[in-house]
């Protein structure tokens, strides 16, 4: 007697019910781990930076930014200061505390390209005194 084959109706399904949970977990992870930039204002616009070719990428996690504006105003953590005499040591004091917090701190300059070099020299002297020796001059990549 011949066997009669039974048709199987079982569908093969990949369970997708937990897919949304996984996706939302990923979404939550990205939302929680995102760190927003703390600077309140971009004091020197990117268009005002000098142009250069040999640019290195500097990871943000060990950096602190010093803005130097054309009128020789210096901004650290959005606090403006000037170096007019040897008694103006705000840059030195701030960098000493930053260096204590993070010994690998990299000081990034966002300086207007028209700024006179004298003020940069004064700031760098205070950095040397504070032993914050690694600096980066932020620049636009030449197109």
Partner 1 sequence: MKIGRKRKGKAEIPTSSMSDIAFLLIIFFMATTKFDVKEGIKIVLPQAAQESSEKVETITLTEKEMTRMQILPDGTIVINKESPREIGNPELDALIKQKLDINDQMIFKVITDREAKYSETIRVVDRLKAANAEKISLSTN
Contacts with partner 1, residue ranges (CB under 8 A):
16-17, 19-20, 22-24, 26-27, 30, 34, 37, 50-60, 63, 68, 106, 108-109, 111-118, 120-121, 124-125, 127-129, 131, 133-139, 141
Query: In the complex, what is the shortest distance from the CB of residue 4 to partner 1, in angstroms, rounded to a whole number?
Result: 37
Q: At what angle do helices 90-101 and 117-129 cross, to 10 degrees?
A: 50
For residues 81 and 72, give the distance between their C-alpha atoms in angstroms, rounded to a whole number.
9
Query: In the complex, what is the shortest distance from the CB of residue 12 to partner 1, in angstroms, rounded to a whole number?
Result: 18
Separation in Å, CA 18 to CA 22, 23, 29, 109, 133:
6, 9, 17, 48, 52
DSSP code for 86: T
Query: In the complex, what is the shortest distance from the CB of residue 44 to partner 1, in angstroms, rounded to a whole number?
Result: 11
Q: Which is nearer to partner 1, 76 or 124 (CB)?
A: 124
The three-state secondary structure class of 37 is coil
For residues 28 and 14, give the distance between their C-alpha atoms in angstroms, rounded to a whole number.
24
Q: Which is nearer to partner 1, 84 or 133 (CB)?
A: 133
Query: In the complex, what is the shortest distance from the CB of residue 124 to partner 1, in angstroms, rounded to a whole number?
Result: 6
Q: Which is nearer to partner 1, 7 or 71 (CB)?
A: 71
> ∠131-121-141 over CA atoms, to 5°?
95
Query: In the complex, what is the shortest distance from the CB of residue 101 to partner 1, in angstroms, rounded to a whole number?
Result: 18
Q: Which is nearer to partner 1, 23 or 78 (CB)?
A: 23
For residues 93 and 101, give the distance between their C-alpha atoms in angstroms, rounded to a whole number.
13
Q: Which is nearer to partner 1, 63 or 81 (CB)?
A: 63
């Amino acid at each position: 007697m011949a066997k009669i084959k039974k048709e199987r109706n079982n569908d093969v399904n990949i369970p997708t019910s937990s897919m949304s949970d996984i996706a939302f977990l990923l979404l939550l992870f990205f939302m929680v781990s995102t760190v927003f930039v703390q600077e309140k204002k971009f004091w020197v616009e990117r268009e005002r930076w000098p142009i250069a070719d040999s640019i290195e990428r500097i990871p943000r996690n060990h950096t602190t930014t010093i803005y130097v504006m054309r009128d020789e105003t210096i901004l650290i953590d959005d606090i403006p200061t000037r170096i007019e005499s040897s008694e103006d040591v705000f840059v030195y004091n701030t960098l000493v505390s930053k260096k204590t917090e993070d010994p690998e701190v990299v000081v990034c300059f966002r300086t207007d390209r028209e700024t006179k070099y004298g003020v940069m020299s004064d700031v760098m002297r205070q950095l040397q005194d504070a032993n914050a020796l690694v600096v980066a001059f932020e620049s636009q990549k030449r197109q």
